[in-house]
Chain A
Amino acid sequence: MRTVSQASPVTHNKKKSVFRKFTCFDWVLLLCLSIYALIILYPFYNALLVSIVPNTVYVRHRGLMLFPPEISFDAYAYTFRSSIIWTGYRNTLLITAGGVAYNMLLTVFLGYAFTKPIPGSRLFKFLIVFTMYFSGGLVPFYLLVKSLRLTNTLWAMILPTGINVMYMLVISSYFETLPASLEESAKLDGSGDFSTLFRIVLPLSLPLLATFTLYYAVDRWNEWYYAMLFARSTKNWPLQYVLRTIIQDANFLAQNYVPGQEAPDIKGDAIKMSAAIVSMAPILCLYPLLQKYFLTGLTLGAVKE
């Protein structure tokens, strides 16, 4: 049984006979895991259904709907014509691009410097890990950002994100596993510390960097919390915050409708779900392609211990 899940030459011969060797246990397992996969998928399928079935049909429907009895893309058209979705997209792209660059730069620098036995590094590390254990709380943080005059700017959604300590520690422990001889020989060739980092260390860590770039990107893409605290005017709202407002009140879109056009008579649910699907589209598209990096998790650091 075991050999099948390992990628060895033996697997190939055995693979054909896998189903013949299936025991009752295997079928039950397969069934359970498949049902759970359906449970995970159903809410998404349901959202898609709600967004494409005309509301009049949806409201009258009784029982489980598995296939759309009628299809209309009015809700999407409505969502796409609302200007606030587009400013939301723009803001989120800016936050994601700027935020990830800022996050990765800080994280990589810190993680790399911590691999060096420089005086004071243990104290710095302690001070940084301490922030995972104790914080000032919501109100002092809010007053700080306000006093920095970041309120109602996109910076309020970028600058406070800085470094995720867990990510930094994993990256740092990975750097530590790289052979020291490579860095030493680069140094003998007259390479400075910065160019050693960029020319030797980072190219050797590309899969790791890809993983954490992705995690940071997802974190920034999903930004709504700082917007809730700090973004006053709708022109600074990121997509998730726009979505949040729409989900709480679908009429909100109507207020931001392009003037000169009459809002069509679609009721809330379809609009909410079309907005949800539009906002999740990029993650949905990238996820299957980059699943290798997404599924790494934080095990990169944990496995070695």
Chain B
Amino acid sequence: MQVSRATKRRRLLRRIWANRWFYVMLLPGLCYFAVFKYAPLYGIQLAFKDYVLAGIEASPWNNFAHFRYMLFEQGFVPAFRNTLVISGMRILLGFPFPILLALFLDELVLPKYRRTVQTIYTFPHFLSWVLLAGLLQNLLGASGMVRKVAMLFSPQASETWNLLYDNDAYRWILVFTDIWKEAGWGAIIYLASIAGVDRSLYEAATIDGANRWQRIWSVTLPSIAPMIAIQFILRVGAAMEGGFDQVINTYTPPVYDKGDILDTYIYRLSFVRTSGVNLGFTTAVGLFKNVINFILLLMANSLTRALGQKTIL
């Protein structure tokens, strides 16, 4: 039976009216996203304009000058390279760690003690990098404990010795302190995944004479492999995020060379510099970063879907 257009529209309107209170519930949330997430998209046009104080509309178009200039701006290429290198190091070292931690925790047969150490491991996740940067100064800085200990062994640990100012050490410090802060939190999802493994598999393996290593290798790991794959893809998808919070709170001019990432570079050029601020240029760098980020995330998303996992987009 053919339903006329008018009837269709009437039905739709009736359905909308019947659900009117749900739309009222949607409204504040939608307003939030419209104002704070979608309105800034309008400002992206600054990437193609010379910013003047009169505002976004008043700024003249500049024929992609910012993008052509980008390669010549002395800080841009190092920042881009650092972002990728630091991200890569975080994935290589930081990604396996929570998995290892979860496997270890799961094997620990003292439930109460396990709970306690897990509580300890997760605690730093809830603190800000502002605070942790302070703690780091006290460990690695000029008057830090690491130096006090080093001075016992080598007189070279002189007055100026400061690991946080050390270009060779800085990236490693970023990676390991990030593991220190987040690994416990990261392990939670794997622990939940391990808890979901069918117990009869372990019993069967035990009957077949498998020892604990073998059980980890041939039961636990294969069972959580899909979860590991998903997490890995998501992690790689976020490769353009070098960890703004951590870097901006711990870096200093001596380590800009190895530690400056795109986000800190954009921030510094936009707000810290006292002269020659060019908001159009930093918008362009931001757009460059976000487009690559977007492409990576889309790829990650379709990969996870190809693995048969539900995705959110």
Interface residues of chain A, those whose CB is within 8 Å of chain B, are 1-2, 4-5, 18, 22, 25-26, 29-30, 32-34, 36-37, 39-41, 43-44, 46-47, 50, 58-59, 61-65, 105-107, 109-110, 112-113, 116, 118-119, 121, 124, 126-144, 148, 159-160, 162-163, 168-169, 192-194, 197, 218, 222, 224-225, 229, 240-241, 243-244, 247, 269, 272-273, 275-276, 279-280, 283, 287-288, 291, 294-299, 302-303, 305
Contacts and interface: CB of A to CB of B under 8 A. Distances in A.
B58 interface: no
Interface of B is mostly: helix
Contacts of A159: 36
Given A126-B313, A143-B43, A240 B130 contact: yes
B16 A33 contact: no
B180 interface: yes
Interface in B6-42: 12, 15-16, 19, 21-23, 25-26, 28-30, 32-33, 35-42
Contact of B120 (A40, A136, A244): A40
Contact of B185 (A116, A229, A297): A297
A106 B35 CA distance: 14
B302 interface: no
Interface of B: 12, 15-16, 19, 21-23, 25-26, 28-30, 32-33, 35-44, 46, 56, 101, 104-111, 113-114, 116-124, 126-128, 130-139, 143, 145, 148-149, 151-152, 180, 184-185, 188-189, 192-193, 196, 199, 202, 212, 245, 249, 263, 266-267, 270-271, 279, 282-283, 286-287, 289-290, 293-294, 297-298, 309-310, 312-313
Contacts of A305: 309-310
A14 to B, nearest CB: 9
A63 B152 contact: yes
Contact of B149 (A64, A128, A139, A244): A64
A278 B152 CA distance: 32
A247 B283 contact: no
A109 B24 CA distance: 9
A132 B294 CA distance: 9
B46 A139 contact: yes
B33 A134 contact: no
A113 B188 CA distance: 29
B159 to A, nearest CB: 11
* Interface of chain A: mostly helix, strand, loop or mixed: helix
A50 B128 CA distance: 20
19 contacts: A32-B104, A40-B121, A40-B123, A40-B184, A109-B29, A113-B25, A118-B23, A126-B313, A131-B33, A132-B312, A134-B290, A134-B293, A137-B283, A148-B35, A168-B29, A224-B130, A247-B130, A276-B134, A294-B126
A241 to B, nearest CB: 8
A47 B135 contact: yes
A139 B127 contact: no
A2 B310 contact: no
A118 B123 CA distance: 41
Contacts of A247: 130, 133-134, 137
B172 to A, nearest CB: 15
A170 to B, nearest CB: 11
Given A40-B123, A43-B135, A222-B128, 20 more contacts: A29-B107, A32-B104, A34-B117, A36-B101, A121-B26, A124-B30, A131-B38, A135-B41, A138-B267, A139-B43, A140-B283, A162-B36, A163-B29, A168-B29, A229-B271, A240-B128, A247-B134, A276-B135, A295-B119, A303-B196
B208 to A, nearest CB: 15
B224 to A, nearest CB: 12
Contact of B126 (A18, A32, A135, A287): A287
A29 B131 CA distance: 31
A113 B135 contact: no
Contacts of B121: 36-37, 40
A113 B126 contact: no
Given A136-B44, A303-B192, A1 B109 contact: yes
A110 B24 CA distance: 10
A110 B37 CA distance: 16
Given A64-B148, A129-B312, A139 B41 contact: no
A214 to B, nearest CB: 9
Query: Which of B132, B134, B193, B267 has the largest number of chain A CB atoms within 10 A?
Result: B134
B114 A5 contact: yes
A44 B127 CA distance: 12
A36 B105 CA distance: 11
B143 A110 contact: no
B180 A288 contact: no
A192 B271 CA distance: 50
A130 B313 contact: yes
Contacts of A272: 134, 137-138
A222 B245 CA distance: 11
Nearest to B142: A269
A152 B56 CA distance: 21
A225 B247 CA distance: 13
B127 A283 contact: yes
A169 to B, nearest CB: 6
A43 B189 contact: no
